[in-house]
């Protein structure tokens, strides 16, 4: 689709908008002309005495904004070029919106015509432009629409038919707190049935947050046994609005709702989002309900227990961390123990040596964040600096020692900053040292892994990797060991050297890494243990046929686009990593075990998700991990 002479076409189309209901395709065509149409449209809005021409011109700008919205809000996002002609210049349109359209529409919110006000306010809200008068403009629009309902006027109703309740609320919530002036008008909507007024106005109240407190008494009416099965009023939206109001009164509304029979898990989930501590009696009731057999989701139970520092909560959280099989639930419980504070320290210390590195890492981090110096805490954190199984544990231990400013740990931290094979651990140790000494935070030093880059590693033959195992650089050896482990059967020729290092190397970190890699290789070569693999290799019993077959499997080309396992990973990985905090890391091996897939499948799926902007983060192919941003 192309438009010849866009400017002339724009002027012609603007002149044809002088009727009450022009064909929509004329307005749409104006919007698709783009930059050449902008100034003529602005001139009409500012100068033309015909309210319908002004209204339709503002409508055209609203449509034009919908085309540029993704790129306007995020320059890195893909533009909607498939919806507009090739002559539509996104860069020029966005520049014109910033320089001319936005100021013009800010003024147009005070136009005498409600339609001009509507399209001006909708355009600005859709682009997240929070103007001083935005909330007041939306309030006037709501009042005008309600006037048509009150008067039961067909003529007025038809006049305002272009104002759609749902679409109004979708754009309006983008203003967030800036829409606070519309709260009194929004409250009036509680008086209408949801088949007349869209229940989406609750989402606007939720977006406004604390300034929506005058609506709290109306929201409270929906927090009862029927929550979650309300006509067009979304129960989750009601709870979100109450949580975002966030006052003590809002907290009490939810506590009362819980006691009156509102869905336990939904209400407790919402209460867990409050900053305030919960009344002791309420938490004791929740504990009693759970022990009495009432259904409460474990994650929710773990989260709410951290809201009051009582020993009963500590006891329950200890049980969850010790017995629960779900890792995320255990991590939430540890976080709740940290929120409880000092009385939870003895319990946290019990999990500092847990068999799972993620539990150990979260525990040592929590011990620091409680911010209470104790000899037993210091001892546990210094011990964690030597954790052989995970750099994350060592990193969090350094972080906590810095947070607590433990001077007695300086010698260990200095050693860690020089010798640890993990760059991020060394840097965290340097930051902790600076914090303890009261010095400025150091600039992140360059990574030491210079011998093998990601590109050269990918291209390296097995012999080059075997040679690199003798490198004096510990970091380089770690990179190679991890790579060989991920190669699985493809690392068969490196087994003699790997076994030699496994049996003779005295560095505990290298030893632990070799053990992990050999375990992966053993599993993929159908041996139950490392010892069984080593014995079979030394006796020459590794079947050549099986090795060839597995080699072919290990060097398969990237899965085809329609491969079902790739589709499954692309669908489920975002949910799997959703709970991770920014900067957190997830190992490919965790995903491989969960989905019974190959490393290459994970790599392909992760790249697809990153390219599609469905997850934010980066791949570390050295370590075989994804780091969330």
CATH number of domain containing 421: 1.25.10.10
Residues 267 and 370 in one domain: yes
Same domain, 544 and 569: no
- Residue 164 in domain: yes
Closest listed residue to residue 126, CA positions, set 80, 172, 74 = 172
Query: What is the number of structural domains in the chain?
Result: 4
From residue 278, how far is each of 213, 281, 316, 321, 478 by CA, in Å?
20, 8, 16, 22, 47
Q: Looking at the structure, do residues 201 and 217 belong to the same domain, yes or no?
A: no
Q: Please tell me the total number of residues recorded for the chain in this structure.
A: 629
Any idea what the CATH number is for the domain that residue 579 is in?
1.10.10.10
Shared-domain flag, residues 376 and 479:
no
Chain position carrying tokens 């682009």: 127
pTM of this prediction exceeds 0.85: no
526 and 568 in a single domain? The answer is no
Q: How far apart are CA 90 and CA 88, in angstroms?
A: 6
125 and 260 part of one domain: no
Please report the pLDDT score of residue 560 as a whole number.
Answer: 46
Examine the fold and report which residue of 500, 521, 554 is the final residue of a domain before the chain moves on. Answer: 554
Centroid of chain to Cα 62: 30
Question: Residue 445: its pLDDT value, please?
Answer: 65
> What does DSSP assign to residue 84?
S
What CA–CA distances, in Å, run from 498 to 367, 438, 486, 515?
37, 44, 13, 9
10 Å Cβ neighbour count for 106?
Answer: 18
CA distances, 280 to each of 271, 289, 310, 337 (Å): 14, 14, 8, 16
Q: Establish if 445 belongs to a structural domain.
A: no
Residues 592 and 507 in one domain: no
pLDDT along the chain (629 residues), means of 10: 66 75 82 92 92 92 95 88 87 96 97 96 96 95 90 76 91 95 95 80 95 94 59 74 95 91 87 92 95 90 94 96 93 96 96 92 95 95 90 94 94 90 89 92 63 44 80 75 83 85 80 85 84 80 49 46 78 78 74 80 85 80 70
Phi-psi region of 341 (alpha: psi -120 to 50; beta: other; left: phi over 0): left
In a domain, 448, yes or no: no
Pair (372, 468) in one structural domain: no
Tokens of 163: 């104002």
Inside any domain, residue 442: no
Kindly state whether residue 446 falls inside one of the protein's structural domains.
no
d(CA 269, CA 66): 35
Residue 617 burial (10 A CB sphere; 0-12, 13-18, 19+)? buried
Answer whether residue 242 is part of any domain.
yes
Q: Is residue 22 part of a domain?
A: yes
Based on the fold, state whether residues 99 and 30 are members of the same structural domain: yes
Q: Count Cβ atoms within 10 A of the Cβ of residue 560 and give its class: 0-12 exposed, 13-18 middle, 19 or more buried.
A: exposed
26: domain CATH number? Answer: 1.25.10
Q: Are residues 186 and 326 in the same domain?
A: no
User: Of 205, 232, 263, which residue is a domain's last?
Assistant: 205
What does the pLDDT read at residue 447? 56
**607 close to 566: Cβ distance less than 8 angstroms:** no
- The answer to the question of residue 298 being in a domain is yes
Residues 237 and 182 in one domain: no
Chain-centre distance of CA 445, in angstroms?
A: 28
Looking at residue 556, what is its pLDDT? 46
223 with 330, same domain? yes
Domain final residue pick, 508, 533, 554: 554
Q: Which residues constitute the domain of residue 480?
A: 455-554
């Amino acid at each position: 689709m192309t438009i010849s002479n866009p400017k002339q076409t724009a002027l012609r189309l603007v002149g044809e908008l002088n009727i009450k209901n022009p064909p929509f395709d004329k307005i749409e065509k104006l919007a698709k002309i783009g930059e050449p149409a902008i100034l003529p449209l602005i001139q009409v809005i500012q100068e033309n005495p015909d309210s319908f021409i002004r209204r339709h011109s503002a409508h055209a700008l609203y449509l034009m904004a919908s085309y540029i919205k993704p790129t306007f809000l995020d320059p890195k996002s893909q533009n909607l070029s498939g919806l507009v002609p090739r002559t539509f210049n996104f860069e020029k349109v966005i520049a014109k919106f910033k320089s001319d359209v936005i100021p013009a529409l800010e003024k147009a919110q005070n136009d005498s015509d409600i339609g001009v006000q509507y399209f001006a306010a909708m355009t600005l809200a859709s682009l997240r432009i929070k103007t001083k008068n935005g909330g007041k403009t939306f309030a006037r629009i709501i009042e005008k629409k309600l006037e048509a309902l009150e008067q039961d006027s067909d003529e007025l109703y038809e006049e305002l038919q272009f104002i759609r309740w749902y679409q109004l609320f979708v754009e309006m919530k983008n203003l967030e707190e800036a829409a606070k002036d519309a709260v009194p008008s929004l409250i009036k909507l509680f008086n209408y049935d949801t088949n007349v007024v869209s229940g989406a106005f609750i989402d606007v109240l939720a977006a406004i947050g604390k300034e929506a407190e005058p609506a709290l008494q109306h929201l409270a009416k929906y927090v009862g046994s029927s929550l979650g099965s309300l006509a067009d009023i979304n129960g989750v939206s009601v709870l979100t609005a109450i949580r975002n109001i966030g006052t003590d009164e809002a907290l009490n509304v939810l506590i009362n709702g819980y006691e009156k029979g509102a869905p336990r898990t939904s209400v407790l989930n919402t209460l867990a989002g409050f900053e305030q501590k919960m009344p002791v009696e309420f938490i004791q009731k929740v504990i009693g309900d759970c022990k009495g057999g009432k259904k409460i989701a474990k994650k929710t139970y773990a989260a709410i227990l951290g809201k009051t520092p009582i020993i009963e909560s500590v006891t329950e959280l200890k049980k969850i961390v010790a017995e629960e099989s779900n890792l995320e639930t255990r991590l939430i419980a540890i976080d709740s123990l940290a929120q409880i504070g000092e009385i939870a320290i003895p319990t946290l210390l019990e999990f500092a040596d847990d068999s799972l590195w993620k539990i150990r890492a979260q525990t040592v981090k929590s011990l620091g964040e409680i911010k209470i110096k104790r000899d037993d805490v210091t001892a546990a954190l210094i011990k964690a600096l030597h954790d052989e199984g995970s750099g994350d544990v060592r990193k969090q231990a350094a972080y906590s020692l810095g947070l607590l400013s433990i001077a007695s740990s300086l010698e260990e931290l200095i050693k860690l900053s020089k010798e640890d094979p993990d760059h991020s651990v060394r840097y965290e140790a340097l930051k902790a040292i600076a914090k303890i000494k009261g010095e400025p935070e150091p600039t992140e030093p360059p990574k030491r892994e210079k011998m093998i880059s990601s590109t050269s590693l990918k291209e390296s033959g097995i012999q080059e990797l075997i040679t690199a195992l003798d490198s004096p650089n510990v970091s380089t050896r770690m990179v190679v060991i991890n790579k060989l482990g991920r190669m699985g059967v493809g690392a068969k020729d490196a087994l003699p050297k790997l076994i030699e290092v496994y049996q003779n190397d005295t560095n505990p970190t290298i030893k632990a890494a070799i053990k992990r890699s050999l375990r992966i290789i053993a599993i993929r070569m159908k041996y139950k243990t490392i010892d069984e693999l080593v014995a079979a290799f030394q006796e020459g019993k590794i079947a050549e046929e099986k090795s060839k077959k597995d080699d072919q499997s290990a060097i398969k080309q990237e899965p085809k686009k329609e491969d079902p396992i790739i589709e499954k990973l692309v669908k489920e990985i975002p949910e799997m990593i959703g709970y991770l905090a920014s900067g957190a890391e997830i190992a490919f091996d965790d995903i491989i075990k969960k989905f019974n897939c190959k490393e290459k499948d994970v790599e392909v799926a992760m790249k697809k998700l990153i390219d599609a902007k469905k997850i934010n983060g980066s791949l570390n192919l050295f370590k075989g991990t994804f780091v969330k941003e």
